Amino acid sequence: MQNARLTLDPSFTVGRINRNLFGGFVEHLGRHVYDGIYEPGHATADDEGFRQDVIELVREMGVSTIRYPGGNFVSGFRWEDSVGPREDRPTRLDLAWHSTETNQVGMHEFASWLQKVGSDLMLAVNLGTRGTPEALELLEYSNLPKGTALSDQRMANGRPDPFDVKIWCLGNEMDGPWQLGHRSAEDYGKLAAITARAMRQLDPSIELVACGSSSAHMPTFGEWERVVLTHTYDVVDYISCHAYYEEKSGDLASFLASAVDMDSFIESVVATADHVKAVRGSSKTINISFDEWNVWYISRFENVDKIEGLDNWPVAPRLLEDCYSVADAVVFGNLMISLLKHADRVTSASLAQLVNVIAPILTEPGGPAWRQTTFFPFSITSKLAQGSVLELKLDAGTYQTSEYGVVPLVDAVATHDDETGATAVFLVNRSQTEETTVTIDITALNGFSTVDAQSLYDADVYAKNTLEEPERVTMRPNTSAKLDGGVVNITLPPVSWTAVSLA
C-alpha cells in the first residue's frame, strides 16, 4: 500500500478555467461525419439526417467549442464546395486520408448540428493549398451580417444570421512533411502574419491560432515556435500544441506517465512564447490552444489502416477506429489533469476527435452508439471542474520508467469555485500493482458535509467497451472516500482515474 498527501488552499490558484478547455474536434476523416454524426437512414436520424443518439452523447460530454473541418483534411479543402445546394456540390479527392469527400455535410449542416449539441464553432482555414484571399472570403461569408456578395450568398443558402465564428486556426500542422502545402517556419510565419492582419482588418473581434509544432518530438520543435511567433506575435492570440500517446512495446509503465511529457511540452512552448515576448518588449501574452490531443495508436494506422492505390479512394472508410482500454482511459484522464494544471496558459483545447475516429463515442451503421472508456474522464471533468484551478502541494511516491525516468505514482489537480463553493479533485494512480491511500487536506476550505467519489478501473487494465459489450467498463462509486473534519481519505485502485466532488 502506497500513501500520498495533497493540500488544497483557495488562496493559491493557477488560473480561472476557460470553458474552451473542454473543446472537441470534428474532421472529415473516416466515419466521423458520414455514418458517425450523419446517417440519414438510421432509426434515430432527425429530419436533417443527424443521429440523435450521437447528439445526446455529445451533449452528455459537455463539449464547449468544436474545431472543424480539420486537421490534415483542411489543407486541401475548398470551403466553397461545402455550401449551396447539395446536388450542386462537387465530389473531391481527399489527399490527406486517401478518401473521397462527397461534401453532403458542409458548413451550414455542421453549424446546425452544433446548435443541436450546444457547442460553438472553431474554424480552420486552408493555408496549405490556398492562402489569404480564400481565408478572407470564408471569414466574410461566415461573419459579415449582410450587404456583400459573400454575406448575401450565405443568406441565399439559408442562413440569415452570421455564423459568428470567434476562434480561427491559421492552417494545420504546417511543420509536418505529410501536410499539403508543408513549408518552413519562416515561410509559414510570414503567410500566417499576412493572413492574420488581413482577417483582423475585416473582423477585429476574432481570435487567431498560429500553428505550433505538430509534436514535441519534431526535429524543428522549439525553433519552429520561436520563428513563427517572431512573425505573428502581434496579430495572433494562441500558438497551437498537438500531442498523441500510445503504449509501445508493452511498456505500460511509461505509457501511464504520458502526462509527464505533456507537462514538459506545455512548459517548453510557454517558455518559448515568453522568450519572444521579452525580445519584442511586448506587454501581450500568447496562450496555448492545445487543439489536438488524445490517445492514438498511430502505429496501427501506419501498418494496418493506411489506404493506398491510385484506384482506391473509398467514401467514409473505417479509419483510426481505436477501441480504448481502461489503461488508455487512465492516461486520457491524466492528460486532462495536465491541461487543467496549466489553465493559466492553456485556455483552449480540442479533444481529437469525437465520433468513431480516435473517439470517445463509437457507432455502428444502422446500429447503436456507445461510450468508450475515454468518454467518462472527459464528461465528468467537464461537469465538475469549475471556477479556478488550485495550486497543489502533492507528496507521493515515485517509480522508474524507461521513457521518462523517475515519475510520481500519483498525479492530481483540484478546482474550486469561490461563488458556489463547488470543489473537485481529479487523481490518477499509476501503480500497476498497489493501491494508494491519498489524504486530502481541505482545512483551508470550509463548509463541506459530503464527499462523492467515482473511479475508473478494472482487474483487467485492457478491458474495453465493444459492440458486443458496450458497458463492460464504466465508472464505479469509490466508497473508500471518507470526510473527517478537514481531511478526506480515499484509496485509489491500481491503474485508476478518480474524480472526487465535495459539497
Which residues, other chains included, contact 80 with Cβ-Cβ below 8 Å and sequence gap of 6+? none
- Specify whether the CB–CB gap between 307 and 17 falls below 8 A: no
Catalytic site residue 292? yes
Count other C-beta atoms under 10 Å from residue 397's C-beta. Answer: 14
Q: Which amino acid is at 468?
A: E
Residue 25 main-chain phi, psi, to 5 deg: -155, 125
Catalytic residue chosen out of the listed positions 109, 137, 292, 321: 292
Strand 436-441, strand 487-492: pairing? antiparallel
Residue 71, preceding peptide bond in cis (omega within 30° of 0): yes
* Residue among 72, 55, 177 nearest 119 (CA): 55
Task: Enter the C-alpha cell of residue 303.
Answer: 501498418
What 3-state class would DSSP assign to 185?
helix
Among the listed residues 101, 68, 103, 99, the one whose alpha carbon sits nearest the alpha carbon of residue 86: 103
What is the number of helices (H) and of strands (E) in the chain?
11, 26
CB contact at 8 A, 425 and 381:
no
Q: How many CB atoms lie within 10 A of CB 101?
A: 27
Q: Which residues lie below 8 Å from residue 381, measured CB to CB, with a gap of 6+?
A: 22, 333, 336, 340, 426, 499
500 alpha-carbon distance from chain centroid: 23
Q: Which one of 80, 101, 173, 225 is the catalytic residue?
A: 173
What's the half-sphere exposure (Cβ side, CA atoms, 13 Å) at 29?
28
Peptide bond into 201 cis (omega under 30): no
**Bridge partner residues of 210 (DSSP):** 170, 239
Pick the closest to residue 125 from 84, 162, 56, 78 (CA basis). Answer: 78
Of 228, 225, 207, 226, whose CA–CA distance to 215 is shortest?
225
Q: Which helix (H) or strand (E) holds 335?
A: helix 326-341
Clarify whether 321 is annotated catalytic.
Answer: no
- Point out the residues that are catalytic: 173, 292
